[in-house]
Chains A and B, each alone.
Chain A
Amino acid sequence: MSARKFKPDDTVDFVVVGSGAAGGVMARELSQAGFEVLVLEQGPRFTAADFRHDELAYWFNGELTNKLDTNPQTFRKTAADQAQRVTEFPAAWYAPNVGGSSVHFTANFWRFHEVDFDERSRLGAIPGTTFADWPITYAELEPYYTKVEWEVGVSGLAGASPFDPWRSKPYPMPPLPVKSSGVLLERGARKMGWHPYPAPMAIASVPYKDRAACAHCGFCIGFGCEMQAKSSTLYTMIPEAEATGRCEVRPLSYVSRIETNAAGRATGVAYFDQDRREHFQKARAVVVCANGAETARLLLLSANAKFPDGLANSSGYVGTNLMFNTYAQINALFEHELNEFKSAQVTRVVHDWYDCDPQRGFYGGGGIDSRIGPMPIAWSLFAPPPGRTWGAGFKSLLEALPRAMIVAGHGTSLALETNRIDLDPELKDAWGLPALRMTYKDHPDDLAMARYLQDRGVESMHAAGALEVWKEPVVESTGGPHLLGTARMGNDPRTSVVDKYHRSHDIRNLFVCDGSSFVTSGRGQPTMTIQALAFRAGDHIAQFARRGEI
């Protein structure tokens, strides 16, 4: 069956805003459940043939990522500062295209652990933060993690990490072949008494569901996959949604507001087409999956007389509690060639510090992985330590690239009411809408945990026999691609935006599901959980619709 084309006057069952990791799953689940679904995506639709091995285009010309000339952003550390317009990489960094950031992601697909959902109960309150339990448990989400692994396609080795949570089914595909960086991290970590294990990746290690296996070309992080081996929703969920004959994905459609009626129900969304003509799409229900930054912005942009603070915002929590996950990097050089430019970025992960340990003196948890990244230009620009950034010393480092690897630390970010997305009071985007403003300052414990993980990375590389090891400074965040927490789930409408089924507390037929739903940040790789939430939400929303409860 071919993709549906709705007419301008049609009232669809669901309009889904955003076609990324969450929106793609939502479209597939709701259309397969028998509903008519229109997905509006602000960016274009690419195919595998559009993607190329062009580091300049994707990393330094923003070809796949959000454009600051048309969609400007501002950033400040605290509300006391004047927000400055962001000029290089976007503060909220994402890929506006069909498939969203699942097109250019690295494809690390860690499940959250049980502790991620109830850590507040285990540890107690952390003063000054909005650290809280999720309204769901790992056990409630587990079937949907399994669904992601089998429906979207994840490779990995079940039971390999002694710290992994229980699972109901093994991975559908074996792990990708280990790279030299993975062997070295494994060697060093085992010597330290830790437990490295094969990285779970949303990349086909063998042919899977009519998709080819990874060709090990190395262009994953920041690139679209030419082989369709990366399990982007562009290649997986969206074609399956369209195949139902009940789903249309409409690219180049920039949603500007969600409309509500006198009864306080959503009636549909207004959007601009590629010629900047405005349209209104009528819908029986609206599902926002526009990522943890743009979802919050859209809810705020949709303020009206009945909802003057924005939609679903009676708690005042829309946009707040923004979390990123911390990142800490170690560079290492070895005697022989690793050739890390080949194959998927990550092949080994160590999770021995996943749980918070009060002995460390601060809150936090995380893991380290082996990688290089992104590709030659970025490494050459950013990895050299002071004193070796130009001249003969720099050149010798460039020549050492085949012998180089990175260990990356990935850790927790605490939720703070002061870290947020809102609307810039002055700056407008190219459509005249208020620009996105970000306010963010890491909690000191987040930086302490990042440095702790970095030190473990250093130890692992020395234990593996590295000739040289150097750290990149851990500094306060000024943005990132993991956009979490800005419309958190919860049972209490006073301290959360959506309920445990992703229905907004305030508007019965308005649902929100993406990184914004997170209550805690997890330990570094959110997309797996975003998709598990989307499968679970899709399941429940379809049941509500069938029972006439929307």
Chain B
Amino acid sequence: MDASGTSRRSFLQASGGTLGMAWLAASWPQVVAAAEHAHQRVSDTADRSKLRLLTPAQARDVDAIASQIVPSGATPGAHEAGVVYFIDQVHAGLWQENAAEFVASLTEFQAKCARHHPGVAQFADLSFDDQTAYLKHLEHTPFFGGMRFLTVLGLLALPSYGGNADKLGWKLVGFVDQHAWQPPFGHYDAGYAGFVPYAKVAEQPS
């Protein structure tokens, strides 16, 4: 079975420079179905009004660490994207088998921080620069590596997991979740003149 007549016709249309129209005409039902389906999945169903696992004090420190990893500023950071809600919800649900270990290492982090900074109630109460300085000592620890992992996921995973509120993480990295795109995709392919063949072409040996 070689290409059917339909496929050959589409091929000819496409190679005639009407790729967009041919594609759209032939694919529209699939595009609509897949886009609707994708939209349901991407809808932000997360509840960020309450914590499910972390205590408010734990959440303050998690939020502060996440904000050190992706700081707020001229553009939103981990705080505005609700990364703390991702970290809370993922340990209350999808990865609940990791929850006890996560809370234990967070508690250890908090205890060490308190010993290191007498008179300061918790990490989140340190100045931003003091937080940075303290974390510099810890940046190669498994706890910090784990927090970095969770912060990136909380920033960029689907909003339904609890973070990436208002798709702020995606806006930060310029990602747009859309089901279908058409060229040009970026600046450099917009003016592409077409592939210029090379002189030598491999031939079947006689």
A residues adjacent to B (C-beta < 8 A): 48-49, 52-56, 60-61, 150-151, 157, 159-160, 162-168, 172-175, 177-180, 182-184, 186-187, 195, 197-198, 205-210, 212-213, 215-218, 226-228, 334, 336-343, 375-377, 380-381, 389-392, 394-395, 398-399, 401-402
Partner among B10, B68, B73, B189 whose Cβ is within 8 Å of the Cβ of A178 = B189
Number of residue pairs across A and B with beta carbons under 8 Å?
215
Residue of B nearest to A398 (CB): B173
Q: Which B53-91 residues have C-beta < 8 A from chain A? A: 68-71, 73, 75, 77
Contact partner of B71 (CB less than 8 A), chosen from A212, A334, A389, A391, is: A391
Closest to B201 in A: A159
Q: Is B197 an interface residue (CB 8 A)?
A: yes
Chain B residue at smallest Cβ distance from A381? B152
> Are B205 and A166 in contact (CB-based, < 8 A)?
yes
In the bound complex, CA of A182 to CA of B183 (Å): 13
* Residue B42 at the chain A interface, CB threshold 8 Å: yes
Q: Report B167-181 CB contacts with A as 1/0, cut-off 8 Å.
A: 000101111111111
What's the dominant secondary structure at chain A's contact region?
A: loop
Does B48 interact with chain A (Cβ within 8 Å)? no
- A56-B153, A159-B201, A391-B68 known; A376+B11 contact, CB < 8 A: no
Docked CA distance A167–B135 (Å): 59
B157 touches A206 (CB 8 A): no
Inter-subunit contact B201/A209 (CB<8 Å): no
Q: Is B100 positioned at the interface, with any CB of A under 8 Å from its CB?
A: no
B127: chain A residues at CB < 8 Å are none
With A339-B174, A395-B71, A399-B75: A150-B183 Cβ-Cβ less than 8 Å:
no
| Residues 26-52 of chain B, each 1 if its beta carbon lies under 8 Å from chain A, else 0 | 110011011001100110000000000
Q: Chain A contacts of B179 at CB under 8 A?
A: 215, 217, 226
Shortest distance between the CB of A234 and any CB in chain B (Å): 15
**Contact status of A162 and B174, CB under 8 A, knowing A216-B183, A337-B187:** no
Report the separation of the CA atoms of residues A201 and B15 in the bound assembly, to the nearest whole angstrom. Answer: 17
User: Quick check: is B202 within 8 A (CB to CB) of the other chain?
Assistant: yes
Tell me whether A56 and B158 are in contact in the complex, defined as CB-CB below 8 angstroms, given that A159-B201, A216-B185, A392-B71 are known contacts: yes
**Are B180 and A377 closer than 8 Å at their CB atoms?**
no
Can you list 5 A-B pairs with a CB-CB distance of less than 8 A? A56-B157, A206-B10, A210-B4, A217-B180, A227-B34
* Min CB gap B163→A, angstroms: 10
In the assembled complex, the CB of B161 is this many whole angstroms from the nearest CB of chain A, namely 6
A394 and B69 within 8 A (CB): yes
**Contact A166 to B203, CB < 8 A, known contacts A60-B153, A338-B188:** yes
Determine the chain B residues whose CB is within 8 A of the CB of A167 once the complex forms.
Answer: 202, 204
Most buried by B among A165, A228, A398: A398
Contact in complex: A339, B157 (CB < 8 Å): no
Q: CB-CB < 8 A to A178: which residues of B?
A: 183, 189, 192, 195
CB distance from A149 to the nearest CB of B (A): 11
- CB-CB < 8 A to B180: which residues of A? 215-217
User: Which 8 pairs, one residue from A and one from B, show the smallest C-beta to C-beta distance?
Assistant: A180-B186, A336-B187, A402-B174, A180-B188, A215-B180, A212-B27, A56-B157, A207-B26
Residues of A within 8 A of B69 (CB): 390-391, 394
Docked pose: A209 CA to B198 CA in angstroms: 31
Interface centre among B33, B75, B186, by most chain A C-beta atoms within 10 angstroms, is B186
Do residues B186 and A198 form an inter-chain contact, with CB atoms below 8 A?
A: no
For A398, the chain B residues whose CB sits under 8 A away are 70, 155, 172-173
Which chain B residues border A402 with CB–CB below 8 Å?
Answer: 173-174, 186
Interface size class of chain B, counting residues whose CB lies under 8 Å from the partner chain: 35 or more
Interface contact A197-B195, CB-CB below 8 Å: yes
**What residue of chain B has the Cβ atom nearest to residue A49's Cβ?**
B37
Cross-chain contact B195 with A160 (CB below 8 angstroms): yes
CB pair B172 A208 closer than 8 Å = no
How far is B178's CA from A380's CA once the two chains are assembled, in angstroms?
Answer: 20
* Interface assignment of B182: CB less than 8 Å from any CB of chain A: yes
- Tell me, yes or no, whether B104 is within 8 Å of chain A by CB: no
B177 to chain A, nearest CB (A): 6
A401 engages B173 (CB within 8 Å): yes
Q: Cβ of A394: which chain B residues have Cβ within 8 Å of it?
A: 69-70
Chain A nearest CB from B167 CB (Å) reads 11
Are the CB atoms of B175 and A166 closer together than 8 Å? Answer: no
Q: Are A182 and B189 in contact (CB under 8 A)?
A: yes
Residues of A within 8 A of B157 (CB): 54-56, 377
Once A54-B41, A206-B10 are accepted as A-B contacts, the answer to whether A401 and B77 lie under 8 Å apart by CB is: no
Residues from chain B with a CB closer than 8 A to the CB of A184 are 188
> Nearest residue in B to A195 (C-beta to C-beta)?
B198
Which chain A residues lie closer than 8 Å to B3 at the CB level? 150, 172, 208-209
User: A442 CB to closest chain B CB, in angstroms?
Assistant: 25
Quote the shortest CB–CB distance from B94 to chain A (angstroms): 7
Given A206-B23, A380-B173, A395-B77, A52-B153 contact (CB < 8 Å) = no
Q: Which of A61, A168, A198, A381 contacts B149 (CB 8 A)?
A: A381
Q: Which of A157, A175, A212, A340 has the most CB of B within 10 A?
A: A212
- Residues of chain A within 8 A of B73, CB atoms compared: 392, 395
| Residues of chain B within 8 A of A206, CB atoms compared | 7, 10-11, 14, 19, 22-23
Q: How far is it, in angstroms, between the C-alpha of A209 and the C-alpha of B9 when the chains are bound? A: 12
CA distance A85 to B173 in the complex (A): 35
**Is the Cβ of B187 less than 8 Å from the Cβ of A55?**
no
